[in-house]
Structure formats: structure tokens, C-alpha cells
Amino acid sequence: MAADAARGAGPDRLRVAICQVNPTVGDLEGNVALAAEAQARAEAAGADLAVLPELAITGYPPEDLVLRPGFVAASRAALDRFAARTGSCAAVVGFVDGAGETNRRVPDMAGVESFSEAFNAVAVCAAGETRGVYRKRHLPNYDVFDELRHFRPGIEAPPLFEIGGAVVGVTVCEDAWVPDGPVSDLARAGAQLVVNVNGSPFRAGKQAAREQVIGRRVAEAGVAVVCVNLVGGQDELVFDGGSFVIASDGSVAARCVSFAESVEVFDVDLPPRKHIPPRQHRHAVVAVTREGASASGRERLAAPVAPPMDLDAQRWAALVLATRDYVNKSGFSDVCVGLSGGVDSSLTAAVAVDALGADHVHGVLMPSRHSSEHSVTDAEKLAANLGIDARIVGIEPGHAALAEMIEADLGRGLDAGGLTDQNLQARVRGTTLMALANEHGWLVLTTGNKSELAVGYSTLYGDTAGAYAVVSDLWKLDVYELCRWRNLQAGSELIPETVLAKAPSAELAPGQRDDQSLPSYEVLDPILRLYVEELRSVGEIQQAQIAPPEVVEQVCRMVDTAEYKRRQTPIGPRLTGRAFGRDRRMPIINRYRGASDQ
């Protein structure tokens, strides 16, 4: 069979279904149903091959769930249930595979032995059974990825599959990012088409980067590559879909929509089959479906080529998708947002409305003696524009009661507008939101931006109290930009211009403004981008002459000392290549002040 499958003219194209689905980590039954429905749609549309994303059966990333033997066994059983529902259309689907009794523990690519018994694997299924399995060989362990902790690398040569008369190879995500790696190996072994299943999270510019990398693999190997990506939110990660095909000539032959589920069926052109002498067969060729089912001879189905999205459209779609999935996958339907009349809470509320619908978003205004009249009216106008309900719960009674309790212990009055008094106000607001959320079954969205998070301009257990920090990976200037973009899309002042025009203020003390405690955001944000996202030293940033040297040093020191706060704040959607959390892991106790950083 292997020799026969590597010879012959074969079809000139294959009908492929890209099944861009949104699984939920750990929901094996739900994920099987989701995958089976997509595969059935593909088969009904006449596809030869349905391709589902990386770990579509388990959800991605499963993290330490894979260290539980019961989870790995359940994943394999779920795969069997999915395979039993397949028919004449072959399906490629990702799942967590176990080591099994015949597999010995082996070092990984770096010679380090993994303690995991799990593999990040992909199965090829058809006619009610699993026809073959491939285990991911190259495990990423950078940025947000910890796959060397969770998986063992595969060591077997990837098999080839005869599907609809075409010779198809399968790879998993990072396998296709390795120069002269598995994609080239499969092409040399006779593959006419290589499938690459992905769980590739979004960051700004990632779609273009994916297409460029796969374009290089195609140039090396001379075969078309079908890349299928997950879509959906998982904790702080956002998977943007954007599945695509790079043709053997290097052009983008197909591109699916981003940030939405879809099943797209179209024809992919194939190069002629190669004759591989039997003595060179190092890859098994597994017969899955015969040529009689292929697209050759049928009217061609054109491929979708979705236009690229601009940066603001990508960021908005990512925020909306991440918020919707975090709320709904957590079992909630409604959220509340503290509306201050400021830009951060306005953007958070607008995202929530697009994600969940106005009926599921509840604004809470919590004015104090320091709140300006326009803060209340701006918040009310925003709520009216968004169509959400808004209630006013003044914090003065709670603030006064707490202040009296503390003053009794101190034996003196609190300094009005001092730090302790300011933090008490913020904590009364946080407690108010949490109490309302408890009573109504809401989830609290926090409103802090990346600039505030970076320098610790927040109150623990106050404005940081909540479940999901929607704008936490947006610098302050980006918050303004995205508000204006959303207004442009709406064709109106959805977010009132008065919100965008006024000076930022926490309004915790008389006449307070952010620029009394921080440099202006036009100065602060460029410093923070260099220090946090580009890992520049203090000295390098000082040489950029963005601000006086002492200001740069002060800002960077604030970032370092605020690490303890960031460890206690809610997660939020990752939009950049270095968000706080998974991307940036700094010690809390840290006295490093190297010469290169001065």
C-alpha cells in the first residue's frame, strides 16, 4: 500500500473544509459535539478533508490538566467518540494523547527529559475510526507558551495520508515555524499538501507574521500549506482564527475571517504526485479515502480571501471576543462596570455592550464629595448612548463609616485627601461593585489600563477588585485612540467627546489630576513601551531623550516596585507581544539595579 500510494498522477485538487471552531478548555463533550457538527457540515458540502484546530478536542491551552492521567485518558476517549461520528470526509483534529505502554520516556529536543506523559497530537479520522496519529515534535517554550512543561515531544516521523487520492502530511503549529523541518520532510517524502493545525494566540501583527513564516516554509518545500487556527478567548489569550492557505507558488490562496467561527469549503490546487522509490520510503502512507471522492472533475469551489483588518479593528474585535468568552465560558451572562465618567470605564463599557448586548451590561456610578458634576453627567450620557441601565450609589456613607472606624483606632482624624483616605474611597467603590455583583449574579469588569498597571497607579482591593480587566493591555494613549475609532465606526459620539477632552483624574482628592502624580501620558507611555515591551534598559531609554533622566529612572523604578500589585490584579485580554502576566514574569522581591540599567 505504501509504495502504491506514493505513485500515480492523482487528483489535481482537493476539496478542503477549514473548520475554525471555538472550543472550551476541559469541555470534552461540548468540544466533541462542536467538532462533529463542523465535520458534518464539511461532509454535507462535499469536502474531501475537514481540518479542525490544534487540541480542538480538549481546548487550548489545557495547561496542568494534562498532568492528570484521567484527563489524558478522557481526551483519547473523546477522540474515539468524535471518530465514530465521521463518514466519507476525512477529518484532522487535535487532541491530547497519552504515552501508552509501548512508549519510553525520552529527552526532548534540548536533551531535557519531560515529566509529562502527554503529547500534543493530531488524529486523522474517517469512516468511524481513527486512521492515524501524529505527535507534535517541536514544542514552543517562549512568550505565553509552556509546552515543555506540559507535553513530551513526538519522535516518530510524521506519516503521510492518502485522502481523496492526494498525499497529505500533517503538522502541529510550531512544527511549521522550524526552517527545513517537518514541512520540508513531508514534501521530500511525497506530500502534495501539508496541513498545519494551530492554537496561535493573537497579538498585534500576528496574522501577517504567520503568513510570512508559512510562506517561507512553502518556498523551502514547494507544497501548499493549509493553516487552521482556533478562534475564541481562553483566560487572557485570544485566538483570532484567520486560517489561511499558502499556495505552492507562495501566494495567499485563501484567508478566512478573523475573530469569528466559520466552516469554509473550497478547492485547493495540488502539484503532481511525486514518484518516491521504495528504498526512500521513510514515511508510512496510510490510505484514508480514495480518489473517487476527490474534487477533481467537479465544478471548482472558490476560496474565500478575507481582507486584512487594520490595527484598531483587530484590537476591538479581540477585546469583544475575549470579553464575551470569558464571561460566558465562566457561566455568567451579565456584567457590571463602575462608570466614573472617564475614558477607561467608558471604553470598557462600550466593549462589554458589543460583546454581550446592552441588556447584559450594568453601569454603576459611585460619586463622592470629590466627584465633579460633569463626571456624573458624562457617565449618564455614556450609559444612555450605549443603552445600558445605570444606577447611582453614592459612597459617602460607606466612606464616612470606614473613616470613623480607622480614626477611632488612630485617635485622630485622617488627612482629608491623603493616601489612606483616597484608598478608602477606592475600596468602598470596589466593595460596592462586588456586593451588587453578588446580589445580582453579575461579573465585575475592572477598568485599569496598561499604563496604570505598569506604574501601580491603582488601589489594591479598590479599582482592581473584579474578575476581568478588559483594557489592561492597552496603554492610556491607545485607550483614547480606540475610543475615537469606535465613535468613527458608530458615526456618532457613542463615547461622549467631553469624556475624551477632559484631563484624566481619579477624583479621590480636591482638584486631583493624573499628571500631578505621573508624567503626562504623552511622555509616560513611550517610556513604558520601551521598558516593558522592548526590555530596554534605563540608560538606553534616557539616551532616547523622551524625558529628563531622573523622570525615566523614576518611572522605571515605579514599574519594578509595582510587581506585587500586578500579581493581585485580574487577568485581561492579551493584545501585545508582551502583556503583563504570562509574557512578563518578574520577581516581586527584586533589588537588581545593574550598571546597564542606570
Helices 521-528 and 549-561 cross at an angle (nearest 10°) of 60
SS3 547: coil
Is 335 within 8 Å of 362 (Cβ atoms)?
yes
Q: Distance of CA 178 to CAs 138, 214, 226, 535, Å?
A: 8, 10, 16, 25
Is 375 within 8 Å of 401 (Cβ atoms)?
no
For 243, other C-beta atoms within 10 Å of its C-beta total 30
Closest CA to 368 of 439, 440, 417: 417
HSE of 218 in the Cβ direction (CA atoms, 13 Å)?
26
- Please confirm, yes or no, whether 329 is among the known catalytic residues: no
Report the DSSP beta bridge partners of residue 194.
169, 225
Report the run of H or E that residue 461 belongs to, with start and end.
none
Pick the catalytic residue: 19, 173, 336, 483?
Answer: 173
Is 442 within 8 Å of 362 (Cβ atoms)?
yes
Is 232 within 8 Å of 251 (Cβ atoms)?
no
- One-letter amino acid of 155: I
Edge-to-edge strand list for the sheet holding 361-365 = 389-392, 361-365, 335-338, 443-446, 468-469
* Distance, CA of 341 to CA of 377 (rounded, Å): 8
Longest dimension (CA), the chain: 93
What the block records as the C-alpha cell of 385 is: 448612548
* Distance, CA of 410 to CA of 407 (rounded, Å): 5
Q: Distance of CA 95 to CAs 37, 361, 392, Å?
A: 17, 36, 49
Q: Are strands 237-240 and 231-234 parallel, antiparallel or unpaired?
A: antiparallel
- Please confirm, yes or no, whether 493 is among the known catalytic residues: no
Give the helix, strand, coil percentages of the chain, each rounded to 5.
Answer: 40, 20, 40
- Please confirm, yes or no, whether 481 is among the known catalytic residues: no
Pick the catalytic residue: 43, 89, 125, 136?
Answer: 136
Pick the catalytic residue: 54, 147, 174, 553?
Answer: 54
Closest CA to 27 of 352, 341, 285, 330: 330
- Give the residue numbers annotated as catalytic, written as ranges: 54, 136, 173
